[in-house]
Amino acid sequence: MNIAKNGNLKLAIQKKGRLTEKSIELLKLCGIDVDHYSERLVVPAENFPLEVLFLRDDDIPEYVQDGVADIGIVGENVVVSKNAKTTVVEKLGFGKCTLMMAAPDYVHLKTIQDIDGKVIATTYPRIVQDFLDKNNLKAKLIELSGSVEIAPALGVADIICDIVSTGNTLMMNKLKKSFPIFDSQAVLISSASNELKKEKAKILQDLQSRIRSVLLARRSKYLMMNVPIGSLEKVKKAIPSLSSPTVVPLADQHYVAVHAVIPSNYLWKIADSLKELGATGILLLPIENLIP
Residues that bind ligand PRT (CB under 6 A): 14, 17-19, 56-58, 75, 77-78, 95, 97, 162-169, 184
Q: How far apart are CA 24 and CA 94, in angstroms?
A: 12
CB 44 → Zn ion: shortest distance, Å? 25
Given the DSSP bridges, would you call strands 42-44 and 255-263 parallel, antiparallel or unpaired? unpaired
Residue 11 or 274: the one with the smaller Cβ distance to Zn ion is: 11
How many CB atoms neighbour CB 186 within 10 A? 26
The amino acid at residue 145 is S
Examine residue 62 and tell whether it contacts Zn ion (CB under 5 A). Answer: no
Distance CA 174, CA 192 (A): 42
Residue 16-55 contact track with Zn ion, rule CB under 5 A, x = bound: ----------------------------------------
Which of these ranges, 21-29, 58-66, 127-135, 269-277, lies near Zn ion under the rule CB under 5 A? 58-66
Minimum distance from residue 58 beta carbon to Zn ion (Å): 4
Cα distance between residue 50 and residue 34, in whole Å: 9
287: three-class secondary structure by DSSP: coil
Q: Should residue 130 be labelled a site residue for Zn ion when binding is judged by CB under 5 A?
A: no
75 contact choice in ligand PRT, Zn ion, none (CB below 5 to 8 Å, kind-dependent) = ligand PRT
Give the shortest CB-160-to-ligand PRT separation in angstroms: 10
Distance CA 143, CA 156 (A): 11
> By rule CB under 5 A, what count of residues binds Zn ion?
2
Q: How far is the CB of 67 from Zn ion (least distance, A)?
A: 21
Residue spans of beta strands (DSSP E) within 25-171: 42-44, 50-55, 71-75, 86-91, 97-104, 119-122, 140-143, 159-164
Q: Which residues make up the interface to Zn ion (CB under 5 A)? A: 57-58
